[in-house]
């Protein structure tokens, strides 16, 4: 139980004894005492005073007196206007630390067979291009959210939907047919997803050339875009694909396999994975069936031209197209099909879609449609809507080849981590193998942490140079703090210094030590808050505060050279648990922690 919960219960008992009134503990405002005041925990008296019809100051004094006399946990108190500041007895903090030390997975709940089943969809790549910086934010948010939901005691299924059909896929295929000369990943030495992405860019270049030629011959621009030979050929290829033309299907299969092999390499390097992968080419037909069933049940309406629509005006929205007049599906139809297949595969209690905020309206509509079709979780589906990520230079465009490739970015981060580490002499005592492992962990931590520390709802600018810094709010700073603690613990072990107290601690604890215990003890509440608000940023910034607090403690107080045995053992225990929580927190972000730096 958190200290806030304990205090709420104690105050509730005090008001019942003093005023014969039972209050709702959850309504009590309990917070950490501000640093400029004496105390550990502060109770805001104004709401309670109004409820009990007492002056805030008099009520604070009465409750403070009662708690000090009747609760050994409270050593002293002071009243500042309508705020009751409580100082917690040292023994409580020591016992709290012991309790944390006894739990290897402190703050992390374990799922049971009866726990809610949460499915999280993330990544959602297209098979016409490699993963880029935008995909990195999506994958990191999705993976971290899955780990956070697990840590809150949920069963979790991580899933991916691959966009492997449509006109954009045909553009890459057509460009390869025309300009590829039989090139393969093996013959060129180019990673498969990169090779296919090159032809997507090539299509756009040649298509623009054709448009310009038509415009120069007098064709209006809008008409030129529709009549350029390349776009007409791509549209014909899509029709052939939908009609199961064997040659088109064979080319599609081959090029997709190149891309999947490339994706797998990127996912492994990034440290993300999936329990189940779905493919639009296998879900859109199910979506069409669901829509037709919806028509039969009167949920959707078929018009004279045979197109199918959903009338959502009663829900405060507009009419939504679900099937075109020619029978082809739209993205909404495909998402309905994917949802049906997922529901058949898993007894989902909650569905979370990790998709950018430009799709907010799409998921608002999808939620309503799934609910109308009878999916029990449809109405409560969660669209984990996140902002766009840009570079200092500005926006990126896949078709113009101006995106930041995920593979290139990860390689750049590792290279930068090596350069920075070598300049600071952090690899001097490492073997080449150890150095390679360390710089990989540092580079990826810099990337992941910089992205995940930002509120996911906000747009952000990723600056590679700022992210690899061993000072400030960065992944490498937290890693370095963790490695520093492990170094202290190793030295204690090598010197046979007792890391567990054999005698009672009689020395008074400093404010810094108490503050550090408080912060470590807040980890369970932080994990819960991150899960409730779907925000890895809460975990990231907590980890930074803990690392910063520990470094201040490390700077101000001796550990191994402390002469008092009990106090030395206490500080080693405090260090050990600070490292444990840092590792747990960073694990929830998908970040590995090096033992030496």
- List C-alpha distances in Å: 595 to 96, 378, 422, 484: 26, 44, 17, 8
pLDDT attached to residue 397: 46
Strands (DSSP E) along 459-523, which ranges?
460-461
Residue 393's pLDDT band (boundaries 50, 70, 90)?
Answer: low
Tens of pLDDT, residues 441-469: 999 999 999 999 999 999 998 887 788 77
- Residue 505 is predicted with a pLDDT of 87
Instruction: Look at residues 73, 77, 108 and name the one whose alpha carbon lies nearest to residue 93.
Output: 73
pLDDT of 522 higher than 50: yes
The phi and psi torsions of 322 (rounded to 5 degrees) equal -115, -35
- Is residue 366 predicted with pLDDT exceeding 60? yes
Annotate 94-144 with three-state secondary structure: HHHHHHHHCCCCCCCECCCCCCCEEEEECCCCECCCCCEHHHHHHHHHHHH
Joined together, the tokens standing for residue 269 give 């390097």
- Residue 543, classified by CB atoms within 10 Å of its CB into exposed (0-12), middle (13-18) or buried (19+), is buried
CA distance 263 to 125: 9
CA dist., res. 491 & res. 571, Å (int): 14
Q: Which residues are 109's β-sheet partners?
A: 152
Chain segment 258-291, per-residue pLDDT in tens: 999 999 999 999 999 999 999 999 999 999 999 9
Over residues 483-501, the mean pLDDT reads 91
Sequence-distant (6+) residues with CB within 8 A of 387 are 356, 357, 456, 457, 458, 459, 460
Contact between residue 123 and residue 159 where contact means Cβ atoms under 8 Å apart: no
Rounded distance between C-alpha atoms, residue 111 and residue 98, angstroms: 25
What pLDDT score was predicted for residue 402?
Answer: 54
- The model carries a pTM of 0.91
Q: How many Cα neighbours within 13 Å face the side chain of 81?
A: 3
Residue among 20, 158, 35, 43 at smallest CA distance from 515: 35
Q: How far apart are CA 88 and CA 85, in angstroms?
A: 10
Q: What is the pLDDT of residues 67-85, one digit of tens each?
A: 999 999 999 999 998 899 9
Q: What is the pLDDT of residue 597?
A: 81
Q: Which domains does the chain have, with CATH numbers?
A: 3-88 (3.30.1360.70), 119-276+339-390 (3.40.50.620), 407-588 (1.10.730.10)
Average pLDDT over residues 489-502: 87
Confidence category of residue 173, pLDDT binned at 50, 70, 90: very high
């Amino acid at each position: 139980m958190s200290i806030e919960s304990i205090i709420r219960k104690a105050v509730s008992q005090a008001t019942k004894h003093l005023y014969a009134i039972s209050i709702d503990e959850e309504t009590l405002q309990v917070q950490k005492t501000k640093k400029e005041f004496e105390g550990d925990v502060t109770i805001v008296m104004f709401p309670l005073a109004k409820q009990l019809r007492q002056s805030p100051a008099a009520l604070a004094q009465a409750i403070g007196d009662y708690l000090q006399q009747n609760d050994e946990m409270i050593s002293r108190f002071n009243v500042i206007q309508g705020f009751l500041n409580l100082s917690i007895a040292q023994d409580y903090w020591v016992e709290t630390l012991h309790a944390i030390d006894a739990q290897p997975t402190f703050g992390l709940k374990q799922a049971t067979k009866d726990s809610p089943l949460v499915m999280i969809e993330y990544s959602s790549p297209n098979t016409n291009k490699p993963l880029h910086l935008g995909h990195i934010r999506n994958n990191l948010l999705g993976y971290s959210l899955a780990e956070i939901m697990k840590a809150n005691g949920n069963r979790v299924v991580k899933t991916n939907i691959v966009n492997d059909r449509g006109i954009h896929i045909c553009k890459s295929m057509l460009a390869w047919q025309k300009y590829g000369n039989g090139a393969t990943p093996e013959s060129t030495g180019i990673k498969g997803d990169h090779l296919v992405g090159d032809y997507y860019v090539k299509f756009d270049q040649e298509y623009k050339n054709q448009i310009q030629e038509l415009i120069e011959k007098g064709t209006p621009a809008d008409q030129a875009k529709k009549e350029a030979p390349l776009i007409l050929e791509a549209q014909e290829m899509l029709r052939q694909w939908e009609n199961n033309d064997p040659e088109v299907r064979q080319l599609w299969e081959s090029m997709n396999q190149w891309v999947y092999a490339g994706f797998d390499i990127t996912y492994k390097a990034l440290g993300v994975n999936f329990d189940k992968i779905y493919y639009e080419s296998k879900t859109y037909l199910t979506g069409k069936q669901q829509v037709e069933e919806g028509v039969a049940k009167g949920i959707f309406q078929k018009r004279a031209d045979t197109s199918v629509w959903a009338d959502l005006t009663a829900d405060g929205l507009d009419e939504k197209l679900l099937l075109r007049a020619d029978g082809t599906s739209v993205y909404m139809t495909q998402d309905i099909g994917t949802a049906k297949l997922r529901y058949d595969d898993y007894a989902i209690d909650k569905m979370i879609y990790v998709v950018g905020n430009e799709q907010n309206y799409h998921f608002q509509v999808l939620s309503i449609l799934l609910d109308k079709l009878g999916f029990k979780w449809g109405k409560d589906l969660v669209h984990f809507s996140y902002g766009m990520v840009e570079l200092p230079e500005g926006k990126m465009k896949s078709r113009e080849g101006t995106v930041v490739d995920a593979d290139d970015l990860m390689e750049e981060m590792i290279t930068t981590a090596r350069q920075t580490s070598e300049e600071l002499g952090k690899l001097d005592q490492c073997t080449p193998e150890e150095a390679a492992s360390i710089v990989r962990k540092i580079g990826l931590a810099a990337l992941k942490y910089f992205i995940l520390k930002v509120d996911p709802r906000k747009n952000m600018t990723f600056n590679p140079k700022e992210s690899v810094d061993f000072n400030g709010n960065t992944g490498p700073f937290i890693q370095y703090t963790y490695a520093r603690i492990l170094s202290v613990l190793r030295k204690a072990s090598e010197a046979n210094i007792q890391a567990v107290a054999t005698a009672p601690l009689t020395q008074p604890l400093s404010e810094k030590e108490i503050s550090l215990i408080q912060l470590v003890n807040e980890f369970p509440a932080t994990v819960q808050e991150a899960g409730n608000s779907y925000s890895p940023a809460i975990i990231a910034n907590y980890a930074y505060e803990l690392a910063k607090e520990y470094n201040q403690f490390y700077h101000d107080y001796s550990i191994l050279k402390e002469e008092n045995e009990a106090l030395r053992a206490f500080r080693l225990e405090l260090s050990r648990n600070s490292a444990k929580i840092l590792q747990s927190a960073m694990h929830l972000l998908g970040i590995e922690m090096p033992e030496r730096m």
